[in-house]
């Protein structure tokens, strides 16, 4: 690895999946605005995520049906005045 390009300020951080409240503790240098009390009684910086391996359909095996037709119709209706 190249020297001098990797951050030096790694610390323990809790990542929390907001869709199902799954959380895990790992080392990171990502900035955090909130803190959370972890299972060991210590307080750690909290980084919220919208999706993780606990909620992603690929890892869970549960596929969600997405209403793409409705989204496409909404998009077309919203921008139909721009069509020439």
pLDDT score, position 48: 94
pLDDT of residue 67 exceeding 80, the answer is no
What are the boundaries of each domain within the chain? 11-82
Residues with Cβ within 8 Å of 47's Cβ and at least 6 positions away in sequence, in order, are 13, 14, 15, 16, 28, 30, 32
Report field, pTM of the whole predicted structure over 0.85: no
How confident is the model over 78-84, as a mean pLDDT?
80
Secondary structure (H, E, C), the chain: CCCCCCCCCCEEEEEEECCCCCEEEEEECCCCCEEEECCCCCEEEEEEECCCCCCCHHHHCCCCCCCHHHHHHHHHHHCHHHCC
- 36-54 mean pLDDT: 93
């Amino acid at each position: 690895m190249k020297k001098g390009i990797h951050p030096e300020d790694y610390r323990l951080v809790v990542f929390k999946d907001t869709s199902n409240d799954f959380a895990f503790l790992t080392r990171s240098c990502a900035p955090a605005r909130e803190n959370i009390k972890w299972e060991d009684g210590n307080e750690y910086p909290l980084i919220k995520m919208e999706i993780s391996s606990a909620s992603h359909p690929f890892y869970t095996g549960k596929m969600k049906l997405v209403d793409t037709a409705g989204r496409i119709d909404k998009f077309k209706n919203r921008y139909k005045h721009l069509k020439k």
